[in-house]
Amino acid sequence: MYVNTKDILEKASKEYYAVPAFNINNMEFFHAILDGALEKRAPLIIETSEGAIKYAGNGDILKGARYFVELVRLFADSVDIPIALHLDHGKHFEYIIAAIKAGYSSVMIDASEEPFEENMKKTKEIVKIAHAAGVSVEAELGQLAGVEDNVSAEESVLVDPQQAKIFVEETGVDFLAPAIGTSHGAFKFKGDAKLDFERLKTVKELTKRPLVLHGASSVLPEYVKLAEEYGADLGGAKGVPEEELKKCVELGINKVNTDTDLRIAFIAGLRKYLKENPKEFDPRHYLGAGKKLVKEVVMNRLEFLGAAGKA
Ligand code: G3H
Ligand code: 13P
Ligand code: NA
Ligand code: ZN
């Protein structure tokens, strides 16, 4: 069934497990993720970036948002696991309103690169509009290093826990993404992963809200290796190890944003298939090879984050 993201995350927050939120851009990734969640009996959060919406709408924002709602609802309505659709990193009013209008379960207002007061003001405004439409809201505090939807921060600015407390109380936001040292993409750390667990723990204690970890892909060496074996160049790729993610879940993370891991798995499967089947040109066959590995990654994450069996 199609549900409000808040319902999925409040249960996860009470019981201290996390639900991965998987980014999609097209039908193939959605089918693979759905199959994985059904097999694992897990609640599911599908999310799309502004870029994904523009892509799916072939340039038309409202059409893109409506496309994803139609796709996700069509399948969600006929299965018995809870499924939510979330707008990831909403930075422009236009996209946020399009998502709400189209029927998304939740939206993220990401004004994290703006001063605290401005972030709070914008978040408050979106909360008012979204809640009136029965849509829940995520916001972000602090900044992730690297490129975050066209905005790049040289170094990460970690969340201030005292500010987080004020922020959730003032804005009424439903879930919060605190920056604790992760970054987006396939190249997160030069050396070992460095996450601020103490800070995370304090944010949970002070906010008592479902918390979101962005930039949470693990960039599993086995998939990177497979992709490279078949021609990819991903030298230096590094993610957040699964053990570190489990620790984050123990400390109160409930939504684990995952995009890069699916992209790498898909490209590994696709490259291998094309190399091994040079006569093949049926898209259902070569895209199917990518989907198979995406489903594998999805099932593994649902399992170790504790979402498996929770539907
Ligand atoms: O947070 C960023 C997500 O991985 C989506 O990125 O703008 O390339 O779709 P995108
Ligand atoms: P990854 O790039 O680590 O998959 O992070 C995705 C994300 O945070 C989407 O909002
Ligand atoms: Na998000
Ligand atoms: Zn993110």
pLDDT of residue 190: 85
- From 149, 213, 240, 260, the mutation candidate for ligand 1 (largest count of ligand atoms within 8 A of CB) is 149
The H-or-E segment that residue 120 falls in is helix 116-132
Q: Mean pLDDT for each 10-residue chunk of the chain (311 residues)?
A: 98 97 98 98 98 98 98 98 98 98 98 97 98 98 68 73 98 98 93 92 98 98 98 96 98 98 98 98 98 98 98 97
What are the structural domains, with CATH classification, of the chain?
5-304 (3.20.20.70)
Grouping H, G, I as helix, E, B as strand and the rest as coil, residue 167 is helix
pLDDT score of 51 = 98
Q: What angle do CA 264, 151, 72 make, to 5 degrees?
A: 50
pLDDT at 152: 47
Residue 192 annotated as catalytic? no
Sign of the Cα torsion 64, 173, 151, 44 reads negative
Q: Which residue has the tokens 């890069």?
A: 260
Q: Tell me, what's the pLDDT at 290? A: 98
49 is annotated as contributing to ligand binding: no
**Does 89 appear as a known binding residue?**
yes
Residue nearest to atom 1 of ligand 2 (CA): 215
| 3-state secondary structure at position 220 | coil
ipTM above 0.95, yes or no: yes
Query: For ligand 1, is residue 184 a contact (CB within 6 Å)?
Result: yes
Gap between the Cα atoms of 115 and 111, Å rounded: 8
* Residue tagged active-site, from 35, 60, 80, 88: 88
8 Å CB contact between 302 and 294: no
Q: Which of 23, 47, 68, 86 to mutate to test the pocket of ligand 1 (most atoms within 8 A of CB)?
A: 23
